Amino acid sequence: MEVRKTRLPGVLVLKPKRFGDARGYFVETYNERVFRAAGVAATFVQDNQSLSAARGTVRGLHFQLPPESQAKLMRVVSGRVFDVVVDLRVGSPTYGEWLAEELSAEGGEQAYIPAGLAHGFCTLEPMTEVAYKVDRPYAPQCDSGILWNDPQLAIAWPVKEGEAILSDKDRTMGTFAAFKSPFRYEPSVG
């Protein structure tokens, strides 16, 4: 497996090896031993999948607050996404910074996002399916987020504000400036 560290501590882009022949390919998308060796210490407890019918669908920027904060392992099952994370960990050298990666089903990349980061994506193709593992179950009382187009974050989304397809929830998230982060950066954790 190829493992690439990003400039945000603890955020990894992983690319499992594909074994192909005339029939297609086989890939092991998750193996606890291999992922632990790559630096992914999370124990995943829930799998989620979403389908976005239209190009330009934005989901995010989402996270769960403590005590139910989640690490995620995210991959694209079909299509392509512009995947974004924002560091919300007070004391992190990259606090308040965002990072974007293009992930695709064809490329097979996966993103590991530790707890304490907001996550979102914009679909770059219609009928895009995303699957992700989380290390804590969904807890509606801890569900939170930041406005996808927050002016302070100034994320360079590949869709214009008036063209983005959003849920009502994502249209009304709070701003980064108003968010009082409960997350703390722990260098040993990443």
pLDDT in tens, 101-125: 999 999 999 999 999 999 999 999 9
Residue 143 has φ and ψ, to the nearest 5°, of: -65, 130
Does 132 participate in catalysis according to the annotation?
yes
Catalytic option among 30, 112, 119, 132? 132
- The closest alpha carbon to 168, from 87, 59, 82, belongs to 59
Residue 187's pLDDT is what? 83
Q: Supply the DSSP symbol for 35.
A: H
Give pLDDT, residue 188: 65
pTM of the model: 0.95
Instruction: State residue 190's pLDDT score.
Output: 47
Catalytic member of 62, 112, 119, 185: 62
Q: Which positions of the chain have pLDDT values less than 50?
A: 190
Which pLDDT score is estimated for 142?
98
Going from the C-alpha of 62 to that of each of 17, 25, 39, 53, the distances in angstroms are 29, 33, 23, 20
Q: Domains along the chain?
A: 2-171 (2.60.120.10)
Based on the residue annotation, tell me whether 138 is a catalytic residue of this protein.
Answer: no
